[in-house]
Structure 1
Amino acid sequence: MDERDSAEQEESGGDLEGGENGLEWLLMQDSSDTTPVPMDTNISLSSPCSVGVDISGPAFSRELLFKAASQGDAAQLHGLLEYLQLTDKKLTDPDFTDEVNGKTVLLKALLNLKHGENDTIEVLLDVAEKTGDLEALINSSYKDPFYKGQTALHVAIERRSFNLVRLLVQKGADVQAKADGKFFQRNAGAGFYFGELPLSLAACTNQPDVASFLMENLHRRANASAQDSQGNTVLHALVIVADNSEENTHDITHMYDQILVQHHRLQGKGGQRLEDVHNQRNLSPLKLAATLGKIGLFKHMLEREFVDVETRPLSRKFTEWVYGPVRSSLYDVSSVDTSEEKSVLELIVFGSEIPNRPAMLQIEPLRSLLEEKWDKFASKLLLLNFVVYMIYLGIFTTVAFYRKEGQPPFPIEDVPLDYLRCACQLLSILGAVWFLYKSITHFHMNPPKLKALFMDGFSDILFFLQASLLLVAAVLYCCGIREYVDLSVLSLALAWMNVLYYSRGSRQMGIYNVMMQRMILGDLLHFLCVYSVLLSGFSAAIIALMDSSPLAVSKTNSTGAAGLGLEAEPLQCQKPSFNNLRYTILELFKFTIGMGDLQFTDHVESKEIFYILLISYIVLTYILMLNMLIALMGNTVQKLSEQSENIWNLQRAVTILDMERTLPSRLRRILHSRLSRMVSLTIEDEQHRKFLRVEEMNWRQWRSELHVIREEDPEDHMAEEPPAGKTFKLRRLLKTIQSRRGRRLQAAAEP
């Protein structure tokens, strides 16, 4: 852009509508979408406004107002009200706002606080109120795509000024305003997502006093169940900003409980539970925490227990009884168990990209729930599947051993053995179809990725390859192609390897299988990558060194025959030599495992270089790389000793839920009802909540003033396990707790 264009651009105040036909305008349009305009700067980004009214008093321009606001000098605003009244203008007029981002002088003042104060703010609010522009000024927001929707209330909260927040709310600030610019969206790079709403911003920046005020002020209360453009409430936003660090988890959990309790008290009985609100991805805050792997907040949400009777319905854990270090707890499994669609357990188990998956499955009640399912039906089903698979594998192996020789397809002979052979072949094909269907179903739910293989293993991939090879072999058999034997043999080898899948039922074998898979995907894979480079490079170098002329080959063969005392005859069959790629690769591989043939070839152009190449290859692979692989594997075993059990638990959990899904829905309901640790409670609105009874041992936390459902020797039996199909009232339990608490306080008060 030349100097003339630059001058015209400055005179037009950055107006892009005047140069629509030029390339410069197009480039500036693109840059505005990629480079954010600063939220605040003391350099004017818009053109100076002209005052066309002749008055005797001081003339106020945008630059003058912004300068006074940035310096916090209220004296510079003297006479502003008279000027606005005389010129019939308001502070929200275009003459006093930034043309680039729509920033008002109030926003400018809030962005330039000194020790939490700016003397110009009250002056500006007073002027706006007297000119009838107060509400419009307070709720004016940024207009540019990056900071769109941010109002003065957002800025005051971000600047952590409780006094200004209270002042703005009293003056009519919109507590439900949404800052939905690109800077405030998730995955925005340099931006910060907080849920768009002022309440969410106060919560995510750890300002409990501001959040409490916004929810309970007398002017306009913020709705905690309000959702942003992604359907997230303030609880969802807290889950998103959690980062699993100890300090952050402490602050987030405290704020989470405060908002949850405060909303419950404001709603009263019959109000909507804040944790039941789902976002656009149909995720509640608990499910979102599980999906994002926020293990600290997730653990707190599952183990949350309130002592106060009024807030105890918000608890997800109830202490049933305590005796010394032993306590029996009831964990709420609503949204957790697989009896509900898109449960927390399914999200964690089948979420291949979720961080902290193995560790989250060790949190109660997930750990006990999986153990209960394993003990009651999953272990029996796995054993049954193992027996059926071994029968199938025996049939498949027998068919492969006693296959017919010749050109396929073979006609069915009218003898019992041939009918039996055909029946076994048909069973093998049907089994392959079943394994293919199971593998595709699992891939649809949990797509295979390299990162996920380290946790989930590659058994599903092996089953998929086994089934695919056998089905392709069946097609080749029907087409009369004899190479069907090659594919069926490979499928048979994979079928025997897949027996290791059922080792998940045993702790020792399962952990051993996990270590083996991790070594294959880690150390061995890295070794093979480097080794393949060396093998290919040295093979190519040796082949290039060979003298492949007919004279050299004939001389070599004659010399060999003479050395054996035989008459030289024309060769009818030549032995492969180092000038053959496959032979060279195979021979060099033999050297790697110590089985190489040291009878060197004679037809090389330079034997010295050939020896150097061969010895260098042996040193690098047989001596160096193999020993490095052994050392790395030993280190991997020590490093994975603690992780392997958690990974085995995760793989076993996948197996449990896979087998549970194969059952008919009616049978699943029957099995769930027979879980011995499951208890059903009825809350005040007659809705059932399922709880899992877990006995815990904690030597660091002895019995305190925590109010329990029943004592060690209870006077009533309301918390005892109810008969099948019956429930007991949570309301009655809470009343009993309250009466016992009163009796204890009365007994303590008596001398």
Structure 2
Amino acid sequence: MTSEAPKNLELKDVSSFASISPVFTKPMDSHVTEGDKKHEEMDSPRSPVDESVRLLLEESSSESESSNANHEIQNHERLLLSAVSKGDKELLTRLLKSIKDRSSSFLKSGAQDYLLKKLTAEDTGKTCLMKALLNINSNTPEIVRILISFSENNGFWDQFINAEYTEENYKGQTALHIAIERRQLEIVKYLIAKGAKINVRASGLFFNPVDKNNGFYFGETPLALAACTNQPEIVELLMKDSQTNVSMQDSVGNTVLHALVTASEGSESHNTFIINMYDKIIRKCKNKSLEDIRNKKGLSPMQLAATTGKLEILKYILNREIKEKENRILSKRFTDWAYGPVSSHLYDLRDVDTCSENSVLEIVVYNTDINNRHELLALEPLQTLLQMKWKTFARSMFLVSFLLTFAYNLAFTLIYYQPHGDKSPKALNISGTTGFFELFGHAFILIWATYLIVQKGVSVFWLRPSDLKSIVSDAWFHILIFIQAVLVMVSMFCCIFGAEVYLAFTVIAMVLGWTNLMYYTRGFQSLGVYSGMIQKVIWNDVLKFLLVFVLFLCGFGVALASLIEHCPDDADCMRYNTFRRSIMELFKLTIGLGDLEMQHDSKYPGLFLLLLITYVILTFVLLLNMLIVLMGQTVDDISKDSENIWRLQRARTILEYEKCLPTCLRKKFKLGNICKISEKDRRLCLRINEVKWTEWHHQVTCLNEEPKLNGTSCSDLRDIAGPDHPNQSPQITIKVYSADGRTQTPQKLF
């Protein structure tokens, strides 16, 4: 910024603007007052100032020492704000002259402080310049010019034009922020030319709210605000300014690219301008590593898009291909060759595959807060990456794990199963062939149970900490397998020490062990889809039914047991004389195995029978039929998404198996090849071949060995195709290196 502001810059007419006011407790321009509070200043026009006030002002500005002068001095601030709000140039000029006259008694520095104080609200830090920009009207450009000229002539223009809000809600906001928010391009140009600072941050609660209803996040810098509100002219203006720090991070570490990702929504038109703005900024920014900057959560813009489930902008980033040489480093995809409708693309795997920390693939697979995870996983290269991992190592590991788990459950059942006779722990007899196999079975059970405890515990609680939602949706089988392995270990130790309680742990472990084999249905699409339906029905409908059913069961059980007064040992009323027996009889009635009988040994037989009938109506007739209807509806709804659920479950399984691989094997099964994009640019890329018939039918290609073909040259065909024909893009050679470092045949990039 120069020491002196330009003098000869004039404002042009301002364009119309449109703004959306979010709900906020103390908005800048609100007319709403809370309770009995009276706000003396508002950021919207009020009724005209009374003429008597003008007369009093004229009296106070004269040299006479009238008794009303002190009173009018106190009203200067209110009158100034009113004048700039309404665009009253005449009143503003008089007020400024009056203030100037009163500052003559101070020294130069004191006079500047006095004038700045008179033009600024003490409680909020809001200046008259901000007030004028918050209340746009036809006279606003002239009001802005008058205010800035006044500050220039009196030597405090820098402090005035760059003054910041001090209020907590809008802390850090300057006049430049407000002019951009009000879409005032000419005023923005004027402010910048007069020395407005560009690299400032509005970090108040309104601009970075915890609750979106109490504000909105468009970034904190003027550049981010202009980009997120679709103002390309202002973005262009700011990026051309040498003072603009495009890589500047706000209080949460976000750059302008992070802000654009955050501002993107589900609307196609909205996402279109967000993507265009994102693309424009990275192309024109001198820092070609802008997209690699991470915020305070360690997320790049691409990772932030994955974390927040922003499908369109993530798709754009993953598939971005730029062919001009100066920006080619920004590409995430490279077309290696094309033959007819088939094209071979190389996708950059940096921050995408699991070899990178906090990779996009891990974010999408494990983050259950993303509602459209299945749509994100369908993007390339994520979809092909998972398929290749499954075929390379996960499928074999999955099969081996299934066979070992099946053998483990079978061995445990054969060794500990006792259908009749003595239920005390069996002593281990190692004599003979049978004893040897029994010893081997115990050792195998112990080893595999220990492995399951460690592997599932690490998978759920350490490698990727899971919240309750994640466990319910993705990892509940891991919890059950972990519990079953612990019960097996407890059962074995109880058996060794001769504790008869081992049988309780054993039977529960058997039930869980065989039920948990449903986990391996996710290796097959048809069975995996069916298993996913069962899982959703249990969590969505059965648990809700059981909660209500238990309440009815307990209430009616206590009531019926209380009505039985005296019951002989051989009487029918024995079925209801205790709470436990009442519960069992009521459960039988629920499933249709009980009967309705009037108990004459109860205190009120009629009431007893009425309670039974009521219970049957509420449970057997109402609850069970509601459960059946809800289960049917759930199955219908889930059948549409069951395949997506299965794909998500298999994706998590693939990543868990990959984490279990030793380092040497992980390097061996590492996907992709090292590609030499340029002399200093080598990347790990994954090759994906795609067939696109529709695009091929609408494109003209010229691939011939001779310079002429039937009198028509390739240049002629390019002229027919138009300037955007793909054959006109520069031919660039990409060298692809295999995993062992050998160079493969270079291909031409069309």
How far residue 669 of structure 1 moved from its aligned partner, in angstroms, is 1.1
How far residue 441 of structure 1 moved from its aligned partner, in angstroms, is 1.8
The yes-or-no answer on 1:283 pairing with 2:299 is yes
* Residue 252 of structure 1: aligned partner: 274
- Hey, what's the Cα distance between the residues in 2 that align with 1:709 and 1:395? 66
How far residue 75 of structure 1 moved from its aligned partner, in angstroms, is 1.7
- Hey, what's the Cα distance between the residues in 1 that align with 2:727 and 2:737? 13
Give a deviation string over 1:551-585, Cα, whole Å, max 9, x none.
Answer: x426x55xx9xxxxxxxxxxxxxx95212222222
Task: Read off the aligned partner of 2:63 and give its amino acid letter.
Answer: S
Asked if structure 2 preserves the Cα contact closer than 8 Å seen for 1:116 and 1:159, the reply is no
User: Where do residues 667-686 of structure 1 align in structure 2 (5 Å cutoff)?
Assistant: 667-672=665-670, 675=671, 678-684=672-678, 686=680
Unpaired segments of 5 or more residues in structure 2? 1-23, 32-38, 43-56, 700-720
Change (3 A) 1:138 1:544: same
Asked if structure 2 preserves the Cα contact closer than 8 Å seen for 1:432 and 1:470, the reply is yes
* Residue 313 of structure 2: aligned partner: 297
* Residue 84 of structure 2: aligned partner: 69
- Hey, what's the Cα distance between the residues in 1 that align with 2:548 and 2:695? 53
The yes-or-no answer on 1:425 pairing with 2:442 is yes
Give a deviation string over 1:328-380, Cα, whole Å, max 9, x none.
Answer: 33222211011212211111111122231122111111001101111121111
- Hey, what's the Cα distance between the residues in 2 that align with 1:256 and 1:716? 25
- Hey, what's the Cα distance between the residues in 1 that align with 2:588 and 2:177? 71
Asked if structure 1 preserves the Cα contact closer than 8 Å seen for 2:599 and 2:609, the reply is no
* Residue 330 of structure 2: aligned partner: 314
User: Where do residues 228-627 of structure 1 align in structure 2 (5 Å cutoff)?
Assistant: 228-263=250-285, 267=286, 271-322=287-338, 325-401=341-417, 405=422, 410=427, 417-418=434-435, 420-444=437-461, 445-453=463-471, 455-456=473-474, 458-477=476-495, 480-547=498-565, 549=566, 552-553=567-568, 557=571, 577-597=575-595, 601-627=599-625
* Residue 178 of structure 1: aligned partner: 201
Asked if structure 2 preserves the Cα contact closer than 8 Å seen for 1:319 and 1:708, the reply is no
Task: Read off the aligned partner of 2:173 and give its amino acid letter.
Answer: Q
Asked if structure 1 preserves the Cα contact closer than 8 Å seen for 2:590 and 2:616, the reply is yes
Asked if structure 1 preserves the Cα contact closer than 8 Å seen for 2:568 and 2:574, the reply is no
The yes-or-no answer on 1:39 pairing with 2:37 is no
User: Where do residues 209-220 of structure 1 align in structure 2 (5 Å cutoff)?
Assistant: 209-217=233-241, 220=242
How far residue 509 of structure 1 moved from its aligned partner, in angstroms, is 0.7
How far residue 411 of structure 1 moved from its aligned partner, in angstroms, is 7.2
Output the TM-score relative to the length of structure 1: 0.81
The yes-or-no answer on 1:197 pairing with 2:221 is yes
How far residue 45 of structure 1 moved from its aligned partner, in angstroms, is 6.1
Give a deviation string over 1:514-533, Cα, whole Å, max 9, x none.
Answer: 11111111122222222222
Task: Read off the aligned partner of 1:212 and give its amino acid letter.
Answer: E
- Hey, what's the Cα distance between the residues in 1 that align with 2:326 and 2:725? 13
How far residue 276 of structure 1 moved from its aligned partner, in angstroms, is 0.6
The yes-or-no answer on 1:663 pairing with 2:661 is yes
- Hey, what's the Cα distance between the residues in 2 that align with 1:353 and 1:471? 35
Change (3 A) 1:727 1:111: farther
Change (3 A) 1:600 1:325: farther
Give a deviation string over 1:216-248, Cα, whole Å, max 9, x none.
Answer: 13xx43221111111110111111122222232
How far residue 686 of structure 1 moved from its aligned partner, in angstroms, is 2.0
Asked if structure 2 preserves the Cα contact closer than 8 Å seen for 1:204 and 1:241, the reply is yes
* Residue 208 of structure 1: aligned partner: 232
- Hey, what's the Cα distance between the residues in 2 that align with 1:196 and 1:44? 28
- Hey, what's the Cα distance between the residues in 2 that align with 1:145 and 1:382? 56
Asked if structure 2 preserves the Cα contact closer than 8 Å seen for 1:195 and 1:201, the reply is yes
Task: Read off the aligned partner of 2:272 and give its amino acid letter.
Answer: H
Secondary structure, aligned partner of 1:93: helix
- Hey, what's the Cα distance between the residues in 1 that align with 2:597 and 2:28? 78
Change (3 A) 1:597 1:431: farther
Task: Read off the aligned partner of 1:240 and give its amino acid letter.
Answer: T
Bigger mean CA deviation after superposition, 307-316 or 584-593? 307-316
- Hey, what's the Cα distance between the residues in 2 that align with 1:716 and 1:108? 56
Change (3 A) 1:709 1:228: farther
- Hey, what's the Cα distance between the residues in 1 that align with 2:391 and 2:414? 35
* Residue 98 of structure 1: aligned partner: 121
Output the TM-score relative to the length of structure 2: 0.81
User: Where do residues 159-178 of structure 1 align in structure 2 (5 Å cutoff)?
Assistant: 159-178=182-201
Task: Read off the aligned partner of 1:56 and give its amino acid letter.
Answer: E
- Hey, what's the Cα distance between the residues in 2 that align with 1:710 and 1:511? 48
How far residue 715 of structure 1 moved from its aligned partner, in angstroms, is 11
Asked if structure 2 preserves the Cα contact closer than 8 Å seen for 1:455 and 1:647, the reply is no
The yes-or-no answer on 1:187 pairing with 2:203 is no
Secondary structure, aligned partner of 1:329: strand
Change (3 A) 1:92 1:107: farther
- Hey, what's the Cα distance between the residues in 2 that align with 1:453 and 1:639? 22
Asked if structure 2 preserves the Cα contact closer than 8 Å seen for 1:439 and 1:463, the reply is yes
* Residue 120 of structure 1: aligned partner: 143
Asked if structure 2 preserves the Cα contact closer than 8 Å seen for 1:352 and 1:446, the reply is no
- Hey, what's the Cα distance between the residues in 2 that align with 1:159 and 1:66? 18
Change (3 A) 1:697 1:684: closer
Give a deviation string over 1:399-446, Cα, whole Å, max 9, x none.
Answer: 212699566595767666456535433432332222222222233244
- Hey, what's the Cα distance between the residues in 2 that align with 1:212 and 1:716? 30
Change (3 A) 1:290 1:408: same
Q: CA RMSD in A?
A: 3.4
* Residue 687 of structure 1: aligned partner: 681
Asked if structure 2 preserves the Cα contact closer than 8 Å seen for 1:457 and 1:514, the reply is no
* Residue 650 of structure 1: aligned partner: 648
Unpaired segments of 5 or more residues in structure 1? 1-34, 561-574, 738-751
Secondary structure, aligned partner of 2:695: coil
Secondary structure, aligned partner of 2:416: helix
2:181 aligned residue (158, 162, 175): 158
Secondary structure, aligned partner of 2:206: helix
Give a deviation string over 1:700-741, Cα, whole Å, max 9, x none.
Answer: 434547776999xx99986788684245799x967xx5xxxx
- Hey, what's the Cα distance between the residues in 1 that align with 2:376 and 2:171? 38
Asked if structure 2 preserves the Cα contact closer than 8 Å seen for 1:302 and 1:316, the reply is yes
Change (3 A) 1:291 1:618: same
* Residue 744 of structure 1: aligned partner: none
User: Where do residues 74-93 of structure 1 align in structure 2 (5 Å cutoff)?
Assistant: 74-78=89-93, 80=96, 82-83=100-101, 86-88=104-106, 89-90=111-112, 93=116
- Hey, what's the Cα distance between the residues in 2 that align with 1:130 and 1:615? 93
Give a deviation string over 1:475-518, Cα, whole Å, max 9, x none.
Answer: 54455431121012101111111111111111111111111111
User: Where do residues 663-742 of structure 1 align in structure 2 (5 Å cutoff)?
Assistant: 663-672=661-670, 675=671, 678-684=672-678, 686-702=680-696, 703-704=698-699, 724-726=740-742
* Residue 713 of structure 2: aligned partner: none
Change (3 A) 1:150 1:242: same
Asked if structure 2 preserves the Cα contact closer than 8 Å seen for 1:147 and 1:184, the reply is yes
Bigger mean CA deviation after superposition, 232-241 or 37-46? 37-46
- Hey, what's the Cα distance between the residues in 1 that align with 2:157 and 2:608? 91
How far residue 94 of structure 1 moved from its aligned partner, in angstroms, is 2.7
Aligned residues: 663
Change (3 A) 1:411 1:727: closer
- Hey, what's the Cα distance between the residues in 1 that align with 2:211 and 2:192? 29
Secondary structure, aligned partner of 1:328: strand
